[in-house]
């Protein structure tokens, strides 16, 4: 921020000395107006990918749309309407005011005051221009929605056609997209506790998601969030997850707190976060995972509640037993081999061996009763 402020002050001085005020004020307003429009109406076609299809027995790699096609589809599908123009104009005026105040304080105030005021107004300008969800978050949600609708029912019958809204949240707001009704009721219901949380939803002003209204609310002061699972909004089960941006920030903060003090200034946080949460593709799969939890709740809510409640047995499970881990690995290897088998007969043989190994493992390590039920419930819930 200090570098941005310094550059802003320097450019202001040069603008006053070299360019007539009317020219650069008009140019600044046009640029700010354009940026505001781009932020508010830009549709993330560059993130949207064609679904992979099979040709000559192989799967074609998914490809990004070229830049020219991206621009053509953007303006074809999302020409700015009156609300977008009004919102962008307001943001442009805020940016213009920030620039003018930068000029005044850079000439007449001390350097410290100029930096403080400039930084404050640059922050307000960015806030005014940003609106609701930023474009990359919208792009990931769009990609997820496209994949679920296109391939969901092939993965599991009915999943692609289910009416499943999504809640994503950051440190301040929860955003609700894809809600099927006219206006969502207040908050969300934490499941399976059936606990009401949150407050009223409001339409995000001067912004849409894929041409549809979406909603937001301030996260409650209690610190409650929808978490990474599924919640109910009205009659609909919704997938819930943090935004990718906030996921990276919160994990960075957590790493910084857990590290010894001497390592905090030199630790490669960006590399570590990239390894932990990966690319946008991985984030889209996280959205799909939580969305399937919502589908589980939609079709068999009692089973979802039972599986989630079974988690209280996890403290009694012998996770650190090395022999149990080896037996688990043998079991998983048999299952993987059965899935990769080239004939039904081979699949049947390996599947039978898998079931026998599983039964033997449970008997050997005394996992009958509640712990066996815990395994079954968690496998059903998490896959």
Task: State the pLDDT at residue 181.
Answer: 85
Percent of the chain with pLDDT over 90: 56
Report CA Rg, the chain: 26
Residues 161-200 have pLDDT tens digits of 999 999 999 999 999 999 998 899 999 999 999 999 999 9
pLDDT of residue 223 exceeding 50? yes
d(CA 218, CA 331): 47
Partners of 202 in the beta sheet? Answer: 216
Q: What's the pTM value of the predicted model, to 2 decimals? A: 0.65
pLDDT of residue 58 exceeding 50? no
Q: Are 158 and 121 in contact (CB under 8 A)?
A: no
Number of Cα atoms under 13 Å in the Cβ half of residue 22: 0
Using alpha carbons only, what angle is made at residue 279 by residues 273 and 284, rounded to the nearest 5 degrees?
120
Partners of 50 in the beta sheet? Answer: none
Q: How is the beta sheet containing 195-197 ordered, strand by strand?
A: 195-197, 188-190, 229-233, 236-242, 166-169, 173-177, 215-218, 202-203
Strands of 57-151, DSSP E: 58-59
pLDDT of residue 141 exceeding 60? yes
Q: Give the residue-averaged pLDDT of 33-51.
A: 44
Q: Are 244 and 283 in contact (CB under 8 A)?
A: yes
Q: Of 20-29, 73-82, 220-229, which gets the smallest average pLDDT?
A: 73-82
Could you tell me whether strands 195-197 and 54-55 are parallel, antiparallel, or unpaired per DSSP bridges? Answer: unpaired
d(CA 101, CA 115): 11
Please report which confidence band the pLDDT of residue 132 belongs to, taking 50, 70 and 90 as the band edges.
confident
As a whole number, the mean pLDDT across the chain is 80
Task: State the pLDDT at residue 74.
Answer: 44
Q: Of 84-98, 154-168, 174-188, 217-231, which gets the smallest average pLDDT?
A: 84-98
pLDDT of residue 226 exceeding 80? yes
pLDDT of residue 269 exceeding 80? yes
Q: Of 5-19, 120-134, 215-229, 308-322, which gets the smallest average pLDDT?
A: 120-134
């Amino acid at each position: 921020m200090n570098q941005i402020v310094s550059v802003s002050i320097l450019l202001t001085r040069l603008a006053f000395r070299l360019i007539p005020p009317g020219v650069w004020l008009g140019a600044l307003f046009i640029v700010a107006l354009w940026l505001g429009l781009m932020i508010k109406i830009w549709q993330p076609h560059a993130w949207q990918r064609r679904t992979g299809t099979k040709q000559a027995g192989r799967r074609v790699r998914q490809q990004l749309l070229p830049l020219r096609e991206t621009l053509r589809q953007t303006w074809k599908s999302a020409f700015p309407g009156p609300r977008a123009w009004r919102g962008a104009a307001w943001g442009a005026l805020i940016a213009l005011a920030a620039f003018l105040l930068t000029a005044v304080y850079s000439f007449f105030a001390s350097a410290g005051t100029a930096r403080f005021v400039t930084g404050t107004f640059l922050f307000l300008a960015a806030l005014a221009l940003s609106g609701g969800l930023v474009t990359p978050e919208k792009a990931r949600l769009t990609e997820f929605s496209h994949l679920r609708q296109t391939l969901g029912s092939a993965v599991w019958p009915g999943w692609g056609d289910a009416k499943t809204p999504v809640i994503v949240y950051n440190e301040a707001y929860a955003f609700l997209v894809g809600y099927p009704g006219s206006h969502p009721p207040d908050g969300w219901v934490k499941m399976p506790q059936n606990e009401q949380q949150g407050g009223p939803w409001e339409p995000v002003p001067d912004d849409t998601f894929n041409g549809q209204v979406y909603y937001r609310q301030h996260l409650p002061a209690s610190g409650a969030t929808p978490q990474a699972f599924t919640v109910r909004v009205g009659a609909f089960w919704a997938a819930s997850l943090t935004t990718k941006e906030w996921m990276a920030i919160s994990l960075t903060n957590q790493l910084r707190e857990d590290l010894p003090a001497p390592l905090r200034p030199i630790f490669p946080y960006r590399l570590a976060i990239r390894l932990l949460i990966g690319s946008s593709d991985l984030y889209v799969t996280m959205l799909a995972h939580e969305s399937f939890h919502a589908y589980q709740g939609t079709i068999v809510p009692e089973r979802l509640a039972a599986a989630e409640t079974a988690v209280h047995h996890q403290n009694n499970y012998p996770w650190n037993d090395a022999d149990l881990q080896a037996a688990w690995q043998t079991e998983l290897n048999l299952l993987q081999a059965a899935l990769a088998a080239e004939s039904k007969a081979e699949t049947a043989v390996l599947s039978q061996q898998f079931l026998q190994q599983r039964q033997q493992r449970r008997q050997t390590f005394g996992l009958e009763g509640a712990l066996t039920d815990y395994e079954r419930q968690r496998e059903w819930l998490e896959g």
